[in-house]
Structure 1
């Protein structure tokens, strides 16, 4: 994030549209008319799909153009180019629901980063399919905890309760912090574009259960983790972030799991940060990630 003058209000605009000449000029002219000062701009032309993507950070001196006026100007310009866009204030803090199963390392890491101010989110709920006693050593800092157990027979009801928590809390983002349950197609569709999962494998390899044991049996020399948006296809959603770590023949499955947990924490935290800073834009089954 850029450092703002106390007399300015900062915004982030992301957009995608069919590529054609004049897009950048139109954006620049629109923001000029709004009295904006562009502080950062990144763009990408996807030749394969013929699409254009852009992320712009800008600020406007307080007391000049209002946010409502900025939105009117941007909306008019977007209509001319058939743009899908998002416009948020830089100070915007999304409300987040975190879902977890037995392993709590990603949950603890997210809460720590939030608590020290590193991750600008407002956690509004923690959902677990294990009882609260499972996490007795974790301080939830007053965040509402929801124990929603699941069985094959109660899956539909349990997912309906999850969506109720998400809706009632006003959550903008759902983070599956090692939530070890497969979401139904209806659930994945309901959370499309606003649900991030951490997979304890370097996708597309070693999907499904016990990936570190799969990796051990194959004698791999690199293990990794993948954060991706959730879609109807299991572990096939657009990838946001990945990382790897080198291992050797001397590492046991327990060593791989231990090292993998470290990778999972940092990959998930980076993916959540990229999302809330509006650095990610969907591009079919891929993502455009503008990293500074």
Structure 2
């Protein structure tokens, strides 16, 4: 019986890393099915993603052995069994196009997720959640209750063991504290081609500037608003005849597609953080 794993790693670049990783897997009967690597000459870091099948099905033992081996190279690493879908919590406000798209892709088997809960500061989508048999948590947020609301949100995230939190048009700014707690595991979709038009109402800003392209950006959440490491972006062409409402409607498709790709790559462990940037092995 074999188990398939995905290994991701980053470390200071040096000769022999690929050889050493391959040798480690070979000694344990591992068969490499997919491998990709990248040397960042600006930072001197080496990045690698390896998918392999291994006859050693004891994940805890394999983790321990790899952990000892990785110290030699000062590696930051993660090892995941592909049979385990990523436990996910989705947060949303009143715009449901991204939520609906993610739920459909998930149920269609297109995203390796285990969506454990939907959290919202409004009640709009409790029926949609119920139709997918996903628990729905309504947690209102005001300036006076923001701290208590975030405490409840984080309690749900922790209780569900969420490895990923998706802000699918969740229109509340997370506190610095919650951003730190979710570092590297929270993805936001911003309805603009960042770094242009940050903050609220980017379609209004774009319309005022008479842009010819509108876009969407999926990025990791950080305490700096709309400045987290970018995972995916895309654009759609528009012209002078488009109203703000036209831009908003046209942009929804782009937002949904960009967020879905970012979530898919993250859940397949294809995204590695590189400071303020990302390395993505597609």
* TM-score, length-scaled by structure 2: 0.97
Instruction: Give the 3 Å change call, closer, same or farther, for CA 201–51 of structure 1 in structure 2.
Output: same
Deviations 1:35-84 (A, max 9, x none): 111111100001111100000011124xx563333223322221100000
1:137 to partner: Cα distance:
5.4
Q: Which of 70, 77, 90 is matched with 1:85 structurally?
A: 77
- Gap regions ≥5 residues in structure 1: 1-6
- Identify the residue that residue 110 of structure 2 maps to in structure 1: 118
- Identify the residue that residue 3 of structure 1 maps to in structure 2: none
- Identify the residue that residue 19 of structure 2 maps to in structure 1: 25
Alignment RMSD, CA only? 1.2
Deviations 1:19-46 (A, max 9, x none): 1111111101101111111111100001
Structure 1 segment 124-143 matched on structure 2, within 5 A: 124-131=116-123, 134-135=124-125, 138-140=128-130, 141-143=132-134
Contact 2:126 2:136 in 1 (8 A): no
* TM-score, length-scaled by structure 1: 0.93
Q: Does 1:259 align with 2:250?
A: yes
Q: Does 1:42 align with 2:36?
A: yes
- Alpha-carbon separation, structure 1, partners of 2:258 and 2:137: 25
Matched residue of 2:177: which SS?
helix
- Identify the residue that residue 101 of structure 2 maps to in structure 1: 109
Instruction: Give the 3 Å change call, closer, same or farther, for CA 169–33 of structure 1 in structure 2.
Output: same
Q: Which of 262, 271, 274 is matched with 2:262 structurally?
A: 271
Contact 2:36 2:281 in 1 (8 A): yes
Matched residue of 2:111: which SS?
coil
Q: Which of 113, 119, 136 is matched with 1:145 structurally?
A: 136
Contact 1:34 1:73 in 2 (8 A): no
What is the number of equivalent residue pairs in this alignment? 281
Deviations 1:89-122 (A, max 9, x none): 1112111110000001111111111111111211
- Gap regions ≥5 residues in structure 2: none
Contact 1:279 1:289 in 2 (8 A): yes
1:88 to partner: Cα distance:
0.6
Deviations 1:237-290 (A, max 9, x none): 000011111111111111110111000101111101100100000110111111
- Identify the residue that residue 170 of structure 1 maps to in structure 2: 161
- Alpha-carbon separation, structure 1, partners of 2:254 and 2:108: 20
- Alpha-carbon separation, structure 1, partners of 2:139 and 2:61: 43
- Alpha-carbon separation, structure 1, partners of 2:11 and 2:197: 35
- Alpha-carbon separation, structure 1, partners of 2:9 and 2:233: 24
Contact 2:270 2:281 in 1 (8 A): yes
- Alpha-carbon separation, structure 2, partners of 1:95 and 1:36: 26
1:136 to partner: Cα distance:
5.8
- Alpha-carbon separation, structure 2, partners of 1:164 and 1:66: 31
Matched residue of 1:138: which SS?
helix
Matched residue of 1:14: which SS?
strand
